[in-house]
């Protein structure tokens, strides 16, 4: 879901085809939909909703943030190491491929971990830990190829 003014709230619509989240300019759209469908508008304050109903917020989860930051740190270390020591080392060019794969994996895992976290926080953690492990392996392979 994407909203241009989500801070002002959004219109959450349940249809036969699925759920829609909109951020209209004003309440006219909600009022028009209410009149055409004959349904009542229900206002929900997410701040007052219990966590069991609303779900956990990944931005406030210490473990999710820790794994995310560790992924960034490992990726930065790999990038800096390859940028400094690869040129002139005589190492195979597959090291560059490992760096590119690590960056792709980071973005892929981050997007999927955020989606998965909404259904299973442990699944989001596992996805980030998997990315961390693979980037760590790529770092070890890069160090062993460049340094030896």
Domains of the chain: which residue ranges? 6-43, 58-147
Q: Average pLDDT per run of 10 along the chain, which is 148 residues long?
A: 60 79 78 86 75 76 96 97 93 94 96 89 96 97 91
Q: Residue 21: in which H helix or E strand, if any? A: strand 18-22
- 37-66 per-residue burial string, b: 16 or more CB within 10 A, e: under 16: eeeeeeeeeeeeeeeeeeeeebeebeebee
pTM over 0.75: no
Note the pLDDT of residue 145: 92
State whether the Cα torsion 114-120-125-130 is positive or negative: negative
Question: In this structure, are residues 59 and 41 in contact, taking their beta carbons and an 8 Å threshold?
Answer: no
Note the pLDDT of residue 147: 87
Note the pLDDT of residue 1: 47
């Amino acid at each position: 879901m994407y909203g241009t003014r989500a801070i002002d709230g959004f219109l959450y619509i349940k249809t036969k085809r699925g759920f829609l989240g909109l951020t209209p300019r004003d309440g006219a759209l909600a009022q028009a939909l209410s009149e055409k469908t004959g349904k009542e508008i229900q206002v929900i304050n997410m701040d007052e909703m219990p966590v069991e109903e609303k779900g956990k917020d990944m931005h406030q989860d210490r473990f999710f943030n820790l794994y995310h930051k560790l992924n960034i740190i490992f990726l930065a270390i790999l990038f800096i190491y390859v940028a400094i020591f690869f040129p002139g080392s005589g190492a195979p060019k597959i090291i560059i491929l490992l760096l590119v794969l690590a960056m792709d994996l980071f973005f892929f895992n981050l997007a999927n971990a955020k989606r998965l976290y909404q259904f299973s926080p442990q699944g989001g953690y596992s996805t980030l830990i998997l990315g961390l492990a693979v980037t760590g392996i790529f770092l070890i392979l890069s160090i062993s190829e460049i340094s030896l």
